Every structure is written in C-alpha cells, then in structure tokens.
Structure 1
Amino acid sequence: MEKMTRVSTVNGRTMFCHLDAPANAISVCRDATQVVVAGRNIFKIYGLEEEGFVERLNLRVGRKPSLNFSCADVMWHQMDENLLATAATNGAVVTWNLARSCRNKQEQLFTEHKRTVNKVCFHPTEVNMLLSGSQDGFMKCFDLRKKESVSTFSGQSESVRDVQFSIKDYFTFAASFENGNVQLWDIRRPDRYERMFTAHTGPVFCCDWHPEDRGWLATGGRDKMVKVWDMSTNRVKEIYCVQTIASVARVKWRPERRYHLATCSMMVDHNIYVWDVRRPFIPFATFEEHKDVTTGIVWRNQHDPYYLLSGSKDSTLYQHMFKDASRPVDRANPEGLCFGLFGDLAFAAKESLMTAPQSVGDVGRKTYPGGDRRYPIFFFKKPDVTEQFAQVSSALSVFESEAGSSVGMDWFINTAKSYLLSGKPFAELCEHNAQVAKKLNRPQESTTWTMLRIMFSEPANPSLSTNHNLNKSGNLPLVNSFSMKEMSAALNERNKENRQDNLHSLETNLNNNDENEETEGSEGQAEYLFGDAELDDDDLYSMEHDNQAEEPEYLLPQEAFPLRHEIMDHPSAPEPVQEKPESPHVSGSETESTCLTPMESINLISVSQLLFSPHLPPKFFCPIVKEMLCYYAEQGDVQMAVSVLIVLGDRIRKEIDELTQEHWYMSYIDLLQRFELWNVSNEVIKLSTCGAIMCLNQASTTLHINCSNCKRPMSNKGWICDRCHQCASVCAVCHHVVKGLFVWCQGCSHGGHLEHVMEWLKQSKHCPAGCGHLCEYT
C-alpha cells in the first residue's frame, strides 16, 4: 500500500516534502518518475507526481539495525530501472533489486573495502559494471554477475572522494582524491593510471564529465573553486575556473546548456548555485529554499534543464523549477573599483551608451550630459523566449602604473624575514624589531616597537640600569629609575662653564633665605630632584668627596644632610617653584652637580614627576595597544598587527576577540604564501594560539611512500622494502640511499637528493632515472 506523506507546494511546480531523517545523497531513475533518498537513517523511494512527492517504498527493513543501510552515496542505474547501488559507511558496497518479491530488496553485498565508501558509479552503457571509491585509497570494479571485484585500482594516494565513468569513452573513468589530485584510469589496466594532475590546493570532493563535450571534466574542492579541464589534448588544460564562497561538495552539468553547471557546498552555505562558467564570480541562478547544508543534487532528466532535485540535512526533498530561482546579477553592484598589490587600479562597469561608438541609428538618441548616469546609459539585451535568464555582459578595465613608479613590496619581504617573534626576552625582541623597522625606513613602526618595550618591560634595578644618562638637551630620559652618580656626572660636564656664576648666585640666595631654608628647601626643591629614589650614605659620601677633589673650595652647609633624610621619610606632593625663576635651585649634597639654569630646572622638575611615579601595570596600556593594533590592521598592515600580537602574547591576547585575531592571522599568512615566504608562514602558524590557525599545519600531513622498484606501498618505516628487499629511497643521480630530504617527480615518481636533482634539471629536462619523463622542478 502506498503511503502518502505531507506535501507542500511552492510557486507551481517547485515542491518539497519532509523526510524522516537528513539525506546524504539522492538519485533519479531513467524515466524521471522516481527518486531515491539515502542517508544514515533513511533509505526510501519517492514518486514524482503532479501534486507532489509520494512515498513508494522504504528499503530499510529488518528488526536489527544494520550499517549496510547507513548510506554515504546512492546511484540508480540508467539502463535497468530496478537496479540501485549504495555506498555504506562501514565499507560495504550493496546492490538492490526492486524487482524482488520479498520485502528485503538487497541483492549483493561486497565487503572488500576497509573504510567508508564515498562514491559508487554504474557504467553508462554496461549493465553489470559497478565502480566504487573508498576512504582507504582504493577503487574497485565489480561485475554484478560475480561475488567479488574483478579489478582493484590503487591511487597510491589518500582517500578517494569521487569516481565517474566517462560518458563518451567506454574504458575511461576519473577519480578525485583527498590530496588534490585527479587521475584518469583505463579499466583494462588496473596497474597504473593513464594520467594524473593536481587540480586543487586541497581535497577534490567531486567531479563530473560534460554530457556533450567529450573532454570536459568539472572538479570542485575545498579551495572553494570549480574548475573545468580539457582532457582531449595531450596536456591537461584548465579552461574555466569559478570562484564560490564555500567548499564545493557536489557539481553537476546542466543538460542542454553547454556552459552551465550546478553546485552545492559542504558546509556554511545552504544554497544551490547554477553557474555560467564564462562568468566565474556571480552565479547565473540561485535556489535558496534549504535551511541546512545541501547534500545531494541531480537534474531530473538528462534532456530537461528546467527541473533540479535536491536533498539536504534539513530533512527535506525539493524539486526546484528553474524559473523560480533568484537572479543574483539583479542584486549585484554593476560597478567596482579596487587597488592592486603593486599600485594598479582596476575598474569594472557595465557597457554604457556614452562610451559606445555612435552609429547612424544613434543620431536622434537623447544624450545625458554631465554626471547624470542613470538608467538610460546601460545596454539591456532583449530576453530570449526559450531561456528565462539572459547572459549579461560586463567589461573590466585595468589601469597599470608605470614600471618605474610602481610601489614595491620589498619592505614587506625584508621585514618578514628579519623580524624576530620568539626565542629571546621580550625587551630584546622589541629592540631588534625596532632596529629592523628603522633600517627599512619605517619610523612609525620602529617607534611603536620602542614604546612597547618601555610600556611592557619590567622595571629595571636602579643600581644596574644603563639608561640613566641625560640626553643632549639636558632632560632626563623617561625611565622608571636612575642613578644619582650618572646624573651628577652628566650635570658636571653640562654646567662646567657656568659653575662660578651659578655658585655665586647660589651662596647669595642661601644667605638671604637662611631662615626659610628648612621649609622651602625641603618641600619645594630637594624632593623634586630625588623624589622616591633610594640613596644610601655611601653614595652621598662618594659624590661629595669626588666633587670636592675637583673643587675643594665650594662646600655645602652640613645642615643639608638631615633635611634630605627627612624628605625621604615624609614625601609630599611637590608644589611648582615659580617664585624666583632668576636664581637656580639647589637639591642635593653637591653644588656642582645641581647648578642649573632656570629652563633646565623646569625641565628636570617636569620629567621627575613621571620619572619617580610608581611603575604602571601592563594592563594600563592594553586599551591603547589594542587601538594601535586595530589601526594598523585597518591601514592594511596586518604584518605589524600579527607580529605585535605574537610578541606580546598573553599581555594583549585576551583583550582582542578570537575572530579578529583569526582574521589577522589568515590575512598575513595569505600574503606570506603569495610571496613564497613558506618558512615565515610556518613560523607564524606555529606561534599562533588560535585553534583555526594552528590546525593549518596539521592538514594533509600524511605521506604515503611507495617502493621505487616494485611500486608497492611501504609497510615498514625503514629504507628496505619488505617485498622486493631493495632500498626504496635511492637517488636517481648518485644511486645512493637518501637519508635526508628527498624530492621526487609526481609524474614518474623518480627523485633523489634535492641538490642533485636541481643540478640535473639545470642541464636536462628528462628524468635522471632514464624513464623518458619530462620532469620539472617547481
């Protein structure tokens, strides 16, 4: 008895139904009257009726749950309407015969794969031929008349993501792999692939042969790209590349439309896009009905380009009518402007009537002077009756600067290579990076590193500090502590010429104000010079006798000593000394070391308030540093933002949200990799603390090694193959075992020492092993 499910219809022929569980894959029978939906907890067949979807058969039968029903992929045979095949997550390949009279429709079970089977594919013209690709890296060809596989294909690589028989070539199929490679195989030769090329920078999740053009193969991967390859020539050629916004999980060519294909994403993006490969950045049409990731897409009929079926993790099955799709080009900005990396300017806009050459028919056309660029200036192509969506043309103009005036990026490369981000104390890292920025004529960055060192360094020991000298203008440097001996020595040299006049004025001032010396001298003068600095009697004694040896005739009254100790025991807030600007002030035990002009006195007093204030905690500067990092990032200098973020570490990391840090890291790493600064990029990834960044070094790190003699995988970790008992890693140039860095050609698998191979390829393009392959070092 047929079971009716709840059906909803949207906009005429666009319809959907709710499933019992999320779907992993869907497939349509040859006459487009039924669709099968498979997933981890669902395996059903629905009929396509005018009023909606009708559930016809539930293939999940039996009292005990079986992993054979947990499907990762499903395919309906296009020659036998009763034959289906599924790929199970437990490594089983199962065929189903709908013509069987019993409830259990399972016909054959193949358990030769050791891991999850990602894809199954029937031969388009051979009824009994089935192909599978598994996570274990093997592809197997099954003859449904036999109980085991007839051929096993080893990609000698990571897991197989997709396999597809060629529609035109009877013996050819394509396979895509986790490491970004695509291989072409002849089913008659399971020992070696016919052709291999690197299609994407990450895993290739899907591939699909063009139904009309014999040599066109579309691939999609984690790098968010869909590429179209021409396989009909001797050398594989990329002819189109479409840029999406998320990793591509499925790709299907649109029937009867040569340049159209549909894609869906593996994560993040829930929409289905139909692309015109000639326009790679804006989708031709978009279906936005699903609320979760789309897992399966298929055109309803091989000759019907207007109906698309899709299943999703939101437990819905949709039939999309093409005319109900949205048109992103209608919402896209028709103009764009951007600057290139080297100072070039690119401007894109629609073709306008004002820039088009006038013809005879344009004489009476109205013109729009000035800047009135509204609707009439654009070309609009009349829509085709047979096609709801028209191709919209666009023009791109690039204005390049002259070769001599282009903005170079040498400073970025040199800075990335010279900066130190770890391995030394914080102060030394800041000082080194400041010097690097200064040498590269980047004063703002140099000053930033210097200020970071001052703000976040620990306060130095007064007795061990080496930055306590006065500068050339007579002012004290802005540090946390200082040495009185160094200050007095500097002042002696600074005021040696004016010593006589200043001391005479000093004695006169002391004699006239002898009665007020205790109040004014203690509160207004001595504290400004010494502040909270700690001096013992030995220091004062040495300062006194050193200067007496130089000028023994000038002595300070003895009552100055107890006053100074009283000041240190009872510190008070200083008051501005502006009563007698014409006379220098005395603070200390030696007149020679404190004879200052009025301007010098004011400078010393203003500096001392910051100089002797308590050390500010690093948290005090965190808001300023955070604002500074955001400023650099907004200006496009993510190099400075990331470098400071790494050097400061926990001092500032908690003040900036992780998403912002991840954005900075990804931008900087992308720039480093564009300039081929692989070592610097790897160091930045290693020093980062963001989880999304640290995992970049952990992706695709598995290396499968095959013996160079017998071509079989190496099962042990030594240099001797346990099958042929020969050395596996032998240099093709010097014929010695390579025990260090080994480089090899991905085309012929021969290689050797890096230095030897580089020297060989400078003189010859042929493989040094004599196989005849044209090797290339990149």
Structure 2
Amino acid sequence: MGDKDGKAKLQALREELQSLKEKGHNGTMETQTISPLPNSTFKARRQLKGHFGKVYAMHWAGKSSAEELVSASQDGKLIVWNAQTTFKKQAIPLRSSWVMTCAFEQDTNQMVACGGLDNLCSIYKVDGETTTTSRATKELQAHDGYLSCCRFIGSQNILTSSGDSTCIYWDIERGEPLSSFTDHNGDVMSVAVHPTDRNLFVSGSCDATSKLFDIRQQGCVATFVGHESDINAVNFFPNGMCFGTGSDDSSCRMFDLRCYQEVNTFMSDRILCGITSVAFSQSGRLLLAGYDDYMTHVWDALKPNASSPAFSTDKNQGHENRVSCLGVSSDGGALCTGSWDTLLKVYA
C-alpha cells in the first residue's frame, strides 16, 4: 500500500511539473512573424599566426579591452593577442602542452586562465608590460580528471568543469574550492556564466544533458534534455533568458530558462559531423557554431527548426582543419575562430 501511495504522489508531482512547464511555454517559433535576415556573410579580416600546434581554445577579453583575446595551443603556449593589429601582447609558456581551455577575466582584463590534461587550473597575470610570463600566480588543484573548460566570475572567483563529471567554484586568492557540483553522470565539457546574474551558470556534458546551476543553492536547478550524444559547448543568449548548445549528434539546440524546455533545433541532413563550439551574436539573432568539417555555420536563431544554415564562412577564407573554438567579441563587432590548422581568423 505504501509503494502504491508513493507512486501515485510521484505521478501527481510529474503531472504538476508538466503543467507548470506548459504554462510557461506560451508560444513557439512557428507562431511568430519574423523578418528575414538580409543577404550577408562574414569576411575574414585578420589572421592571427603564431602558434605552432593545434589551437584548442580562445576567449575574448571584456569590454574595456574588446580587441584583445587569449588563445591556447598544443604547442604549450598561451598567447594574448590584439586582434585589431594582430600583434602578440604576451606569450605564456605552459608546464603542460596538453591544454584544452583558456579564459580571459572580464572585469579588469588582468588575468587569464587555462587547464587541460594536467587536471589543474593555472592562472596568470596579464599586465601589458612584459611580453613573456613563465610562472602561474595560482594553480587550482582539486579535480580528478582533465580540465575541459574554465570561466572567470568576477576577479575573485573562477568556475571550472572537468572530465571527473564535476564543476567547481573557486576562491582564486585562497586557491580553494568554495562549492562542488556533482549532478552530471558524464564528463562535463563546457560551462557558461549567466550574462547578468553571476550566481547562475549552465553546463553541457557527455551524458547528453545540460544543467542550470545556482551557486547559492550549491546544486542543480534544472536539467535540459534533447540531445542524443555528447554536448561539447554551451553559451548563453545575450539577455540570459535562453542558452544554446552544440553536440556530437550534429545539432545545435536552444533552451529557454523560463519554461525549462527546448525552443529550437538547428540541424541539416548535409551536416553529419559534431559541433565543437557555439556563440550568439550581440543581438541574439545569429547562432554561430564551429564544426569538425572545418566549417563555421551561422544559423538564424529565430527560424523554427532550421534545416539549413542562414550562411557559412567562405571555404576559401576558412580553415584547413577542425574548427575547435570560436567566440564573439564583447562589443559584438567581430567573430574569432580557432582551428587545428594552428591559425585563428577574425571575421566581421
């Protein structure tokens, strides 16, 4: 009798949750009148050449230094670039060349971080005066697996994700974990911090789910399903109401935080490879994604269940190997892509 009562209560809770979701899901893309995108494409304006190994990650600086970015390569170097002039502002040799992620601190633009198969998050000062830096100011050690992604939350804290299926929120000055998030059942491949509320972040994992976390609650707030394979990349919509994902199932998807549901899918029968990275334009109209087939495809984020990209980067101006990372500058004026062909390209 007790088991039956428990099952009945569980079913009632499920129905109540579904009802609340449907109440928040008060419209679809198909019901909206959407103006078409103008015929346009991105052109490669700059080429950042200086790495001698595969480029694995890049990240733009904050708005006060919107033309700067940091990149990480298998050659064992972090390079801080001025994307406008293509000058290398700082080169940082790493203890381990197996780097998988890098991040630029967004408030003061005076720190960069990286990590990879060494299981560490290493943080370096960027002062603009010295051209080389050899020693990390902090090395954060608590993960039991490779570091897949890191993102600063202000100048005092950083968020990391790992192959050990966890995310950790750190105090940089003390070098100590403040919170650990263990809700995923597979490697966590990417994290993104909410653009207006630094207590919230979203993650993507090899368990094919993405999750919303609240640092104050030290746990998962919501789980988003829909992908059929590893989620390699997550990124927030500019207003923070939605986020986009990219997966090995060859699709990008958009999820809404208000109704806890998927609101759009972007995939094509002609694109059969995985997605490595995603980003939104400053207006949110464009979803940009880097692919294993050397291409960067641009989707109309408002077009329902898009079956083909709005446009793609020119093959003649594109990369000659896997597009491993991409990002839109903090002022929205440029797109940078990094590739296993050792190059970074800046489009506008």
TM-score, with structure 2 as normaliser: 0.79
Q: Displacement, 1:303?
A: 3.3
On the 8 A contact 1:27/1:37 being kept in 2, the answer is: yes
Counterpart of 2:140, as a letter, is: F
Distance 2:347 2:49 in 1: 12
1:22 aligns with 2:59: no
Residue 110 (structure 1) aligns with: 140
1:46 alignment partner, one of 71, 81, 90: 81
Deviations 1:81-132 (A, max 9, x none): 1111112212101111123968425110012111111010112xx3211100
How do residues 692-703 of structure 1 correspond to structure 2 at under 5 angstroms?
none
Residue 710 (structure 1) aligns with: none
1:151 aligns with 2:179: yes
Distance 1:200 1:17 in 2: 35
On the 8 A contact 2:44/2:346 being kept in 1, the answer is: no
Distance 1:255 1:122 in 2: 20
Deviations 1:443-500 (A, max 9, x none): xxxxxxxxxxxxxxxxxxxxxxxxxxxxxxxxxxxxxxxxxxxxxxxxxxxxxxxxxx
How do residues 156-305 of structure 1 correspond to structure 2 at under 5 angstroms?
156-190=184-218, 192-212=219-239, 214-233=240-259, 236-244=260-268, 245=271, 246-256=273-283, 258-265=284-291, 267=292, 269-277=293-301, 278=303, 280-287=306-313, 288=315, 289-304=318-333
On the 8 A contact 1:98/1:105 being kept in 2, the answer is: no
Q: Displacement, 1:170?
A: 3.1
Q: Structure 1 residues 294, 147: closer, same or farther in 2, change over 3 A?
A: same
Instruction: Identify, as 1 or 2, the structure richer in strand.
Output: 2
Q: Structure 1 residues 12, 309: closer, same or farther in 2, change over 3 A?
A: closer
Distance 2:187 2:90 in 1: 33
Residue 36 (structure 2) aligns with: none
Q: Structure 1 residues 131, 316: closer, same or farther in 2, change over 3 A?
A: same
How do residues 350-749 of structure 1 correspond to structure 2 at under 5 angstroms?
none
Distance 1:85 1:130 in 2: 9
Instruction: Identify, as 1 or 2, the structure richer in helix.
Output: 1
On the 8 A contact 2:224/2:262 being kept in 1, the answer is: no
1:140 alignment partner, one of 168, 172, 187: 168
Q: Displacement, 1:18?
A: 5.0
Q: Which runs of 5+ in 2 are unaligned?
A: 1-42
On the 8 A contact 1:115/1:136 being kept in 2, the answer is: yes
Q: Displacement, 1:32?
A: 2.3
On the 8 A contact 2:48/2:83 being kept in 1, the answer is: no
Deviations 1:277-310 (A, max 9, x none): 3061221221131010011111133332xx2111
Counterpart of 1:169, as a letter, is: D
How do residues 8-87 of structure 1 correspond to structure 2 at under 5 angstroms?
13-30=45-62, 31-41=65-75, 42-50=77-85, 53-60=86-93, 66-67=95-96, 69-87=97-115
On the 8 A contact 1:199/1:219 being kept in 2, the answer is: no
On the 8 A contact 1:19/1:317 being kept in 2, the answer is: no
Q: Structure 1 residues 109, 18: closer, same or farther in 2, change over 3 A?
A: closer
Q: Structure 1 residues 248, 49: closer, same or farther in 2, change over 3 A?
A: closer
Q: Displacement, 1:14?
A: 4.3
Distance 1:26 1:186 in 2: 26
Counterpart of 1:261, as a letter, is: L
Task: Provide the alpha-carbon RMSD of the alignment.
Answer: 2.1
On the 8 A contact 2:185/2:207 being kept in 1, the answer is: yes
On the 8 A contact 2:188/2:206 being kept in 1, the answer is: yes
On the 8 A contact 2:243/2:255 being kept in 1, the answer is: yes
2:336 alignment partner, one of 304, 309, 319: 309
Counterpart of 2:295, as a letter, is: N
Distance 2:212 2:67 in 1: 33
Q: Structure 1 residues 302, 105: closer, same or farther in 2, change over 3 A?
A: farther
Distance 1:185 1:208 in 2: 14
Distance 2:48 2:160 in 1: 30
Distance 1:137 1:45 in 2: 30
On the 8 A contact 1:88/1:94 being kept in 2, the answer is: no
- 3-state DSSP of counterpart to 2:175: coil
Counterpart of 2:45, as a letter, is: R
Counterpart of 2:241, as a letter, is: G
Q: Structure 1 residues 47, 179: closer, same or farther in 2, change over 3 A?
A: same
Residue 29 (structure 2) aligns with: none
Distance 1:15 1:163 in 2: 27
Distance 1:58 1:16 in 2: 13
Counterpart of 2:91, as a letter, is: N
On the 8 A contact 2:336/2:344 being kept in 1, the answer is: yes
Distance 2:258 2:280 in 1: 18
Distance 1:82 1:160 in 2: 27
Counterpart of 2:117, as a letter, is: T
Q: Displacement, 1:251?
A: 0.6
TM-score, with structure 1 as normaliser: 0.36
- 3-state DSSP of counterpart to 1:194: strand
On the 8 A contact 1:182/1:199 being kept in 2, the answer is: no
On the 8 A contact 2:237/2:244 being kept in 1, the answer is: yes
Distance 1:193 1:145 in 2: 26
Distance 2:261 2:201 in 1: 18
On the 8 A contact 2:113/2:123 being kept in 1, the answer is: yes
Q: Structure 1 residues 127, 12: closer, same or farther in 2, change over 3 A?
A: closer
Residue 340 (structure 1) aligns with: none
Residue 674 (structure 1) aligns with: none
Q: Displacement, 1:76?
A: 0.4
Distance 1:34 1:230 in 2: 31
Larger radius of gyration: 1
Q: Displacement, 1:27?
A: 1.4
Distance 1:18 1:259 in 2: 33
Q: Structure 1 residues 195, 81: closer, same or farther in 2, change over 3 A?
A: same
Residue 389 (structure 1) aligns with: none
Q: Which has the higher contact order (CA 8 A, sep 6+)?
A: 2
